[in-house]
Structure 1
């Protein structure tokens, strides 16, 4: 009986120790950090099971994740966010917004320019746009998503519907009003776009692109901000 009691106390002590967050950098913290940093440039969500592999097991990851998150923010200016998905995933976003397109490589600039055009149009249309209407707008700018473009390149439909969505710059939602209607796909700002790009930046971009005063977009800006911060 005594040995059973001692075993129970030992298990409780181990549980208490395991539930305490690690506050010092050890080899497992370094392994988790290195994995995140190595994959952050891809801008693809990192699955929890991948971090578990780096940590050794799920409990080891759990007690180190808070420290890892703090180190990423304090040392590298990276915000590590959990997505509301199943299975559990995380993304890395920059702590500071991009100031100039010249911060990007030559290969990145066409993609980000196209992304800004898309985010601008979604913003101007009330933060949600049917994909066919978006593609119609792009075609007016001589950007055909199923044809190669001289500046933006080829495979633009895949870039928009797969790459930007996987990177969490865009979010796709399907809607069907009734069983008699064809389903429609809508595009919205994704979590990464909201974290890295402000509505004010998009207003400045729209003003320059459309040669208008930023004040002409006050209504859209107020609507966008209200949708992000609804009154209780």
Structure 2
């Protein structure tokens, strides 16, 4: 299968009106301060806002002048991609250049969360990359995972993990849809920016094939659908 990972795609950072000639090219105390802040917060997987970096430098122009060097150092020295949530955003996320190869790279505390995340992303993937929240929770209940009850493996607060933590970490994206003024709104979940950067659709196919004991070829239609949905529109 051809790779569908978005981690290697080039990311364009909007550095305002600062010209390339004004960018800092040598590591100074302010570059170190920005780097340390990002590294200290990267493990939390919470988006970092440009204004969060101001405390380390004190001036937005100084942050902008140093970001290209900081981004390069994060990539070359730490294997971390630091990129904006969208083309106009001043909010960034850190993702790993090399996707996680095995769940055993995680700590025992992290594994339940990632297993729940993979189950959630897999179901969204299999349902055309967009699923109503009630249908997602219905699928989890079929696996004896009730989002409002404590689970022996996943623990308490399953709904909070899905609706707050995974959303805040950019693994999931939430959309609200209202068909008309006479209808109640519906909530849908999609893959978030971090999920698309760190996890490939091929990994979802392998996960689903093992879970359901099916040949990966049987998921080719799902793979094509997901890939087509992510393809740039003319």
Judge same fold: TM > 0.5, yes or no: yes
Matches within 5 A, 1:62-77: 62-77=64-79
Matches within 5 A, 1:172-191: 172-191=174-193
Counterpart in 1 of 2:28? 26
Q: Distance in 1 between matches of 2:206 and 2:232?
A: 24
Q: List structure 1 segments (4+ residues) > 4 angstroms apart after TM superposition.
A: 15-19
More RCO (CA 8 Å, sep 6+):
2
Higher helix share: 1
Instruction: Indicate whether 1:90 and 2:92 are aligned.
Output: yes
What's the secondary structure of 1:151's corresponding residue?
coil
> Which whole-Å deviations, capped at 9, do the CAs of 1:48-69 have from their partners, x for residues lacking one?
1111111221000010000000
> Which whole-Å deviations, capped at 9, do the CAs of 1:29-73 have from their partners, x for residues lacking one?
000000000000000001111111112210000100000000000
Gapped runs of 5+ residues in structure 2? Answer: 1-16
> Which whole-Å deviations, capped at 9, do the CAs of 1:137-179 have from their partners, x for residues lacking one?
0000000000000000000000000000000000000000110
Q: Distance in 1 between matches of 2:21 and 2:167?
A: 35
Q: Could you say which structure has the larger radius of gyration?
A: 1
What's the secondary structure of 1:93's corresponding residue?
strand
Give the conservation status (yes or no) of the 8 Å contact 2:82–2:94: yes
Aligned CA distance change for structure 1 residues 231 and 176 (closer, same or farther; 3 Å): closer
Give the conservation status (yes or no) of the 8 Å contact 1:18–1:59: no
Post-superposition offset of 1:230: 3.9
Post-superposition offset of 1:87: 7.0
Aligned CA distance change for structure 1 residues 176 and 123 (closer, same or farther; 3 Å): same
Give the conservation status (yes or no) of the 8 Å contact 1:114–1:152: yes
Q: Distance in 2 between matches of 1:113 and 1:187?
A: 17
Give the conservation status (yes or no) of the 8 Å contact 1:19–1:63: no
What's the secondary structure of 2:123's corresponding residue?
helix
TM-score, with structure 1 as normaliser: 0.90
CA RMSD of aligned residues (A): 1.8
Q: Distance in 2 between matches of 1:119 and 1:17?
A: 40
Matched residue pairs, number? 218
TM-score, with structure 2 as normaliser: 0.90
Give the conservation status (yes or no) of the 8 Å contact 2:18–2:64: no
